[in-house]
Structure 1
């Protein structure tokens, strides 16, 4: 492990070269024992005819392995034919075609990194993306090596009755002596990162799906005993995903069996291993009593995401890890569209953009900003980022917007026809879209290589005599690390024009024939560009970047325009957006007034507009819940040059209280009208009603002297029948310093202490409290019997909830929050460096804080960098954050 005096090697896209060897087939045998595991691999290999060095040695990747045997074409190799170091096995003097047999010993029970083969809850499982396979056996552990795998597993039959791997089962044998064997064959070539193995005492819930060609696919979800009652929703989501992918993309599942295994100790959300998806329990288990509506929707989304990877990730994988967004950005876009079809599409878009702004925009503006296809990395695990995933999805969405859905589908068909069974690049994908649509996307490619969030300034003018309306757009992107100078991007600009009554007008460029009224997609391709529109009887109101047609920051618009759009825009996203931007302007004015010692009150007309939304029966309940919520503290902070932590919190809470006070009776009526005690379901309508009811409760709970409102919150916290409602009430109580608070939280813990995912919520609730003394409470919770750093979900629930979800206390002026986070990073560094690096990220966002906080954050980064034996994962994030 490196320290700050010995920085590790940087991997660069420019240095990519074809492998000197190819692997056609892999025959793996695992002997699993209580004291470790023996792995025997037979690699059928050949030299790559596309490379130029016929004498190149074979250099295989391997870490934490004990080599116990190596043979070439059946003959044991002497020590003069190979060398072993900490990360490689090098073999010399090899023929053009050969087989290599390698035997290694590994210790899964001692593997706390959760990469490679490890144990969770007494079961064996794997995580090989990105470079975990090298912790299992020596191999060319890179995504452009595709091979067919056969896997044989031998283990104790009583302890590990279920033995699973990729592909289709071909043999199960009782070996006697209490042991048994299972053999699996995967007919589709795949890279090593898609290898999976699970062995344990698991229960399967089974179902089936009939494909459009009439093939019956067996579906199995495996869980620990007792959890099998919580997978019905995941199974429904899987079947819906399979049907949707056939209908929308023409993608049919290709094996005879699809399996999901739920694992409690998992660094990631889920993994798309071919035919054997391994899931974090948090993203597959859901019941009315233990999961919120948000949990149900995340399960649906992630099940779909991992299933969709079968084609966009598995059948076509990425040539190298710099192309990660090729599979992840594309598949996130696919799962977002699926979720939009399954639920409220406008609310899904709002949710996706809210997430993008909360986690990706700050990354794009910080020290670890990088393009969706980065140019270099030290540790690939650090590039599973919101930029690669969420911004990557926005890039795919922009292509879809620019060329239209029909030509996008033709582009996908062409992409698959060209690259099925291959390791592809981002250029391959864009080229397929260009060729299928006839659209020039040369300039658009800059989105793949340029970091940062573009900022757009819009100016308009009206020529009454000519009936001509003009918009001038200017785009700019600020400097990011390694990219001081930015070039203009190709930005899809979805535009609507509204008349004085809020009706959509035709968007007709000067000189064109009149189109139908509605949204028009234009292309902004220059640093400054003017668009002229004619055929108008009066000056219109522009609705800009409808549907958030590009991941940009739009300069503040006139307040009267925002108020009009908030009341009238036919585009649901832009109606919500207008309210958010209007609220942002008002709240930031309040922050400035507070800093200047001036009085400030929330604009009464804005409060009235929220009231009108509550009374509008034509609107979707879920949309009203989103539209009546004020922008979050982190979003407001992102709008400030120097962040005023305390000011943002104080003003936002004052504004929320103003809404609650003015609209108290209407909020109470909304709550009662949507308090449905009928049969539980997670339909869009039912979820929307609960969302609106709890949005009203979140306001009512601020009325501290209102006995009826407080009683409502306490009754819901104690007696609600769904976790959605219980958690909504507890979220109110976490910020209320009342006598009942502690007992309600303790009662919640006592009831759910045997449900790990629910206890994660209990930890997260307390970590996000705004009450004084929260940081001391968090420190005490690290000593709670239920807390452990060993489980990533539990660690994230407490530590990341503070750092990402509680700016008031994480950014405490005395620096205590920063010191706490650094303590946890150092505690995790050796045991789980991947998790340590991920929770470290917020500590690097110091540039826009006041000098005192900057110094405190820098001091903790220096402390981390000075620690001995720093992992590559942590070193990279800390060093880039400190620069």
Structure 2
């Protein structure tokens, strides 16, 4: 590996030291003027030790120091120094008041961290380390302070002035200016600070808490978006009710506010009482928002609200503990969404994301435990590992304990640590203390990276009627550790016989150990290898393993295809029905990959058992229609790639395409019946049953448009032109655009332009329009994507637009990103590297997140891998590369 030209400092968990000083009170006076903003900060600092240090460093970046004083007396330059990223006080007192005035330029802040301007408003993003771009501060999560914030600005330009907590006072000033004074009664770290100033409209409602308090609810948006807030407001009230019922957590301020911002690096931010959202996570109405968009709004609104306790009232001691709040809160929002819709469908969606993307992260150069031991740039650790795998770790704890003990443990956690900055050990210890369980081995989930692999073998003895399962666990080496210790892994399971599910009698269990449902059991794997013996088993069973995806692991068991048929059609666990269907589809795709290798793909015929399962599912009247759709959808190219030792994106694309075409041909009449059930007069409702009906109908339409008849094309056009909701409209447009039939291509181009003309005034709709084209797998994808960068709809400074084009092309269009049929082509890699280099100068966070496809160069054949490697080298040699990109590139080379 070549030595990096950029050497960001590495921060280690083992080096953690408590802060020398606390900031008891923080008073900010933020005066916003056109082109510049002055921040007058008054901090009451108190030393935690009896001896004051010789120096005290306060973090600060891109700040112009105007004045500095201690206890009202100006400091001379012998009493402090300015250095890169810090203001250093020399010989500070044990207790003192520090006042600084700094000048900043929010309008020029393209990083979207700290205070910046987005369209018509000024807003903040302070997590993880953005507050240091606002004023000099002890910018670390274990310094919690009482905040009072005064904001002043032009009343004409910024009629709205918001910050955390409750409004104390507001009024007019001279020269057309006005002010607002806010106080947050709950101590918080500075990463939860928020400020918004601008011209926005508001939708208002209220919520009465379980104790009878009335809470004002306000969502602030641009006036044109007022009609898109009802779903977010209803989701917020549902989340507040759910958190009171399920966790006993009541909201603790008199007002809860959400502000929608178009330029935002993240999805949303849980600032105390003043949540700032990416517009994509708060705005929704049927005409402009898909079902997935409605579900995302519901989930993200709930997630940020739930942070009020799991993140705000109890926060992280340091950024190594990020999963303490994020993993726990993702689990909470996932359970909320499951309760609002279909638990099985929600589980399928979450596991699909985990296995396609987080497992790839675990197998790559940036692999890290959910509580990493070190980092160079904390922004790089807002990862699927911290969030999604962190959620799975909490889910395992909840499943090991059961609902009552888990609730008892979380109650103890919140009560014990309210108002504190704590660690993942504190969370697990509260659960252990409440349940009298030993979770010391379970801590390996927090300390070790990688995806464990479970290899399961079995044996049935007809004479003794004993069935034996032997489970071995192994975790491949990752950059931080090669010798992995065993994990504590819950394996939910059942056994299927010819007539249905069999009773489970585990050898060694007493009658009181038996679950109420004796056809389902959770085995606890705590060693490298364990054997479980079941007695009184009347026939050789088919094991249903890892039900509900009870642990984030890879499962290796030699299922026959007939076994998979049985599980697909008869397992009582909905997730495992889906899983068996996907495994059967993967087996057929593997057949097609072999045929591609042998140059026999054009003569390929899929295993009839897959078609048999699909036909049976289509006739099953009681099956959730969303589950039916997911079972009919083939594994994605990304998921297929993760199953290969060496990834050949062209082979994967061609094999999947041929299998899909065969399914479409064999089941055409059934798909036509589903697609033609479209009723443009049906009222749109974002409820589970209707969402499922749209999903299965549009899945059928996708299949029909692989090789469409004229009638199929007309059905698709009718849906596109008559749909009263964006789900059906965009699904029809997608089916047209993705169609390879020569007769449809010109029609698709015409409809793309018509769609743009119809919706060009709706940025979120146009993001979907851009993504649709960037994702399109037809030849020429790179040229189409480059053309989008020159389109009036594209904005190179807007993260949503960047993700919709560059991010989607490089992550979701593998056949074109990797060169199409020209297997030696590196044009896609060069394109991505060019974009990363350009973006890194303006917004390092977004640039770094685009790098992921190149970091996996080792997974590809030498010609592709080396071409990707060379682009990483070129990025590494770029002068002034940010720490964000430098860390990822350095670890990847």
- 1:717 alignment partner in structure 2: 720
Give 1:674 deviation, angstroms. 5.9
CA gap 1:53/1:531 in 2 versus in 1, 3 angstroms: farther
Q: How do 1:353-368 and structure 2 match up within 5 A?
A: 353-368=351-366
Partner SS for 2:676:
helix
Partners of 1:528 and 1:506 in 2: how far apart?
Answer: 21
Contact 1:504 1:570 in 2 (8 A): no
Q: Does residue 1:518 correspond to 2:522, yes or no?
A: no
Residue 43 (structure 2) aligns with? 43
In the alignment, what sits opposite 2:621? 617
Distance of 1:871 and 1:6 partners within structure 2? 8
Q: Which residue of 2 aligns with 1:263?
A: 261
Residues in 1 aligned to 2:791 and 2:510: alpha-carbon distance in whole angstroms: 69
* Aligned pair partner of 1:296 in 294, 297, 302: 294
Q: 1:69 to 1:566 in 2, by over 3 A?
A: same
Distance in 2 (CA, whole Å) between partners of 1:350 and 1:718 is 31
Per the alignment, residue 540 of structure 1 pairs with 541
- 1:858 matched to 2:874? The reply is no
Name the CA distance, whole Å, in 1 between partners of 2:26 and 2:675.
60
How far, CA to CA, are the matches of 1:571 and 1:53 in structure 2?
Answer: 62
> How far, CA to CA, are the matches of 1:673 and 1:519 in structure 2?
38
Contact 1:510–1:533, Cα closer than 8 Å, also in 2:
no
Q: Are 1:844 and 2:855 an aligned pair?
A: yes
* 2:573 corresponds to 1:574: no
Mapped partners of 1:344, 1:504: distance in 2 = 26
Check whether the contact 1:507–1:520 (CA below 8 A) recurs between aligned residues: no
Partner Cα separation in structure 1 for residue 599 and residue 746 of structure 2: 33
Q: CA deviation at 1:817?
A: 1.0
2:826 pairs, out of 815, 838, 847, with 815
Summarize the Cα distance change of 1:110–1:439 in structure 2 as closer, same or farther, 3 Å threshold: same
Distance 2:746 2:795 in 1: 29
Whether 1:804 aligns to 2:811 is yes
Moved more, 605-614 or 21-30: 605-614
Alpha-carbon separation, structure 2, partners of 1:254 and 1:228: 27
Superposition map of 1:676-825 within 5 A:
677-704=681-708, 706-737=709-740, 738-812=745-819, 813=823, 814-825=825-836
Verify: 1:399 aligned to 2:403, yes or no. no
Alignment of 1:398-797 (within 5 A): 398-510=396-508, 512-513=510-511, 515=515, 516-558=517-559, 559-598=561-600, 599-673=603-677, 675=679, 677-704=681-708, 706-737=709-740, 738-797=745-804
For these two proteins, the number of residue pairs brought into alignment is 878
Q: 1:103-127 CA deviation, whole Å, 9 max, x = no partner?
A: 1000000000000000001310000
Q: In structure 1, what is the Cα distance between the partners aligned to 2:295 and 2:412?
A: 32
- Corresponding residue number in structure 1 for 2:232: 234
CA deviations 1:34-61 (Å, max 9, x no partner) are 1210000100110013xx7533421100
- C-alpha deviations, 1:274-301, integer Å up to 9, x for none? 0000000000001101110000000000
Distance in 1 (CA, whole Å) between partners of 2:51 and 2:362 is 41
CA offset digits 1:570-617 (Å, max 9, x no partner): 100000000011111221121022102244321112112111111111
Equivalent residues in 2 for 1:70-149, closer than 5 Å: 70-149=68-147
Question: CA-atom RMSD, angstroms?
Answer: 1.3
Indicate if the aligned counterparts of 2:548 and 2:575 stay in contact, CA closer than 8 A.
Answer: yes
CA contact (8 A) 1:718 1:726 kept: yes
**Which residue is 1:826 aligned to?**
837
After superposing on structure 2, the runs of 4+ consecutive aligned residues of structure 1 that deviate more than 6 Å are none
CA contact (8 A) 2:582 2:635 kept: yes
Does the aligned pair in 2 maintain the 1:142–1:191 contact within 8 Å? Answer: yes
Mean CA deviation greater in 132-141 or 587-596: 587-596
1:170-218 C-alpha deviation (Å, 9 max, x unpaired): 0011113211010000000000000000000000100000000000000
Which ranges in structure 1 are unaligned for 5 or more consecutive residues?
Answer: none
Residues 53 and 357 (structure 1 numbering): CA distance in 2 closer, same or farther, change over 3 Å?
Answer: farther
Q: CA 1:97–1:554 in structure 2 vs 1: closer, same or farther (change >3 Å)?
A: same
Partner of 1:373: 371
Deviations 1:797-816 (A, max 9, x none): 00010111111111223011
C-alpha distance in 2 between matches for 1:479 and 1:817: 30
SS at structure 1 position matched to 2:129: coil
Q: Deviation string for 1:63-95 (max 9, x for gaps)?
A: 000001111111111111000112000112222
Write out per-residue CA displacement over residues 688-715 of structure 1, whole angstroms, 9 at most, x where no aligned residue.
11111111111111123x1111111122
Alpha-carbon deviations, 1:598-655, whole Å to 9, x = none? 4432111211211111111111111111111111111011001011211111111111
Q: Distance in 2 between matches of 1:810 and 1:731?
A: 19
Structure 1: how far apart are the matches of 2:800 and 2:502? 47
How far apart, in 2, do the equivalents of 1:532 and 1:53 lie? 63
Contact 1:69/1:102, CA 8 A, preserved across alignment: yes
State the shift of 1:507 in Å.
4.7
Contact 2:432 2:438 in 1 (8 A): yes
Aligned mates of 1:107, 1:504 — CA distance in 2 = 69
Structure 2 residue runs of 5 or longer lacking an equivalent are: none
Residue pair 2:641, 2:649 contacting (<8 A) in 1 also: yes
Residue 27 of structure 2: SS of its match in structure 1?
strand
| TM-score, structure 1 normalization | 0.98
- Return the alpha-carbon distance in structure 2 between the equivalents of residues 423 and 6 of structure 1: 32
Match of 1:853, SS?
Answer: helix
1:22-41 → structure 2 map (5 Å cutoff): 22-41=22-41
- Structure 2 Cα separation of the partners of residues 847 and 372 of structure 1: 23
Q: Could you list the per-position Cα deviations for residues 131-164 of structure 1 after superposition, in whole angstroms to 9, with x for gaps in the alignment?
A: 0000000000000000010000000001100000
Q: Structure 2: how far apart are the matches of 1:455 and 1:818?
A: 32
> Structure 2: how far apart are the matches of 1:168 and 1:73?
28
| The 10-residue stretch of structure 1 (645-654 or 514-523) with the greater mean CA deviation from structure 2 | 514-523
CA distance in 2, matches of 1:172, 1:270: 27
Give the conservation status (yes or no) of the 8 Å contact 1:675–1:689.
Answer: no
Query: Quick check: 2:6–2:883 contact (8 Å CA) kept in 1?
Result: no
Asked if the contact 1:152/1:182 (under 8 Å) is kept, the reply is yes
1:487 match: secondary structure: coil
Secondary structure (helix, strand or coil) at the match of 2:305 reads: helix
- Corresponding residue number in structure 1 for 2:885: 874
Deviations 1:214-247 (A, max 9, x none): 0000000000121111010000000000000000
Does the 8 A contact of 1:26 with 1:149 survive in 2? yes
Superposed CA offset, 1:368-422 (max 9, x none): 1000000111110000000000000000000011111111111101111111000
Q: C-alpha distance in 2, partners of 1:133/1:81? A: 24
Q: List aligned pairs for 1:198-213, cutoff 5 A.
A: 198-213=196-211
Alpha-carbon separation, structure 2, partners of 1:671 and 1:524: 46
Supply the distance in 2 between the matched residues of 1:456 and 1:507 (Cα, whole angstroms).
Answer: 22
Asked if the contact 1:64–1:86 (Cα under 8 Å) also holds between the matched residues in 2, the reply is: no
CA distance in 1, matches of 2:505, 2:814: 43
CA distance in 2, matches of 1:228, 1:358: 36
Deviation at 1:6, TM superposition (A): 3.9
Per-residue CA deviations over 1:472-500 (Å, capped at 9, x if unaligned) read 01111111112112111110010111221
